[in-house]
Amino acid sequence: MSKKLSRPYAAPTMQTRPSAADRNREAINAALIGGAIAGAIDIVAACLITGRSPESILQFIAGGLLGKASHDGGMATVALGLFLQGFMGILIAAVYVLCAKVLPILARRWLLGGLLYGVVIFPVMNFIVVPLSALKSHPHFTALKFAENMAAMLLFGVIVAFFARRTTASPLNQLPVGAQS
């Protein structure tokens, strides 16, 4: 006679909303991780687009503070450029995370939101930040360079949005059906 095995009954658990501290920690992590990864990939993209070394790209970034002298600073200006790239990446990601908290559709539709954010990042960086930097450089793009740089910013935006998507769109952040807020 065969005995039928049954699974032990597990009572359903009620998911609770995360605390404000948990939501803030999620948002900070999204900005830190998303910004750092997007910033690192942006350096790789800049190397591929320009054909220059990572050191040269990072010295160019340091030139935002130091001007043309940044290319004579050796590893110190490379380190400064790396710090500035990380800082800017995290700052740009933090802006998206904050916007996604105010407009949750940016987290729910993160791919579209990230692409649109990339479209916004491109002119801000190229026509405001860089011209106002110590380099005082103004962009001159061929159609190909424009497309390559825009693609890099679209990717940057998507990476940032990918990490921000969980800060408001998580099932734990949603009240159960029929529950009142």
Does residue 14 lie in a domain region? Answer: no
User: In this predicted model, what pLDDT tens digit does every residue of 91-137 receive, in sequence order?
Assistant: 999 999 999 999 999 999 999 999 999 999 999 999 999 999 998 88
Cα separation, 13 vs 1, in Å, equals 36
Instruction: Give the per-residue pLDDT at 2.
Output: 56
Does residue 133 lie in a domain region? Answer: yes
Instruction: Give the per-residue pLDDT at 18.
Output: 75
Does residue 93 lie in a domain region? Answer: yes
Q: How many domains does the chain have?
A: 1
Give yes or no for a contact between 159 and 34, defined as CB atoms under 8 angstroms apart: yes
In this prediction, residues 66-81 reach a mean pLDDT of: 96
Cα separation, 32 vs 28, in Å, equals 6
Instruction: Give the per-residue pLDDT at 16.
Output: 67
Domain that holds residue 152: 21-168
Instruction: Give the per-residue pLDDT at 11.
Output: 56
Instruction: Give the per-residue pLDDT at 13.
Output: 57
Give yes or no for a contact between 45 and 152, defined as CB atoms under 8 angstroms apart: yes
Q: Which residue has the higher pLDDT, 45 or 9?
A: 45
Does residue 135 lie in a domain region? Answer: yes
Does residue 61 lie in a domain region? Answer: yes
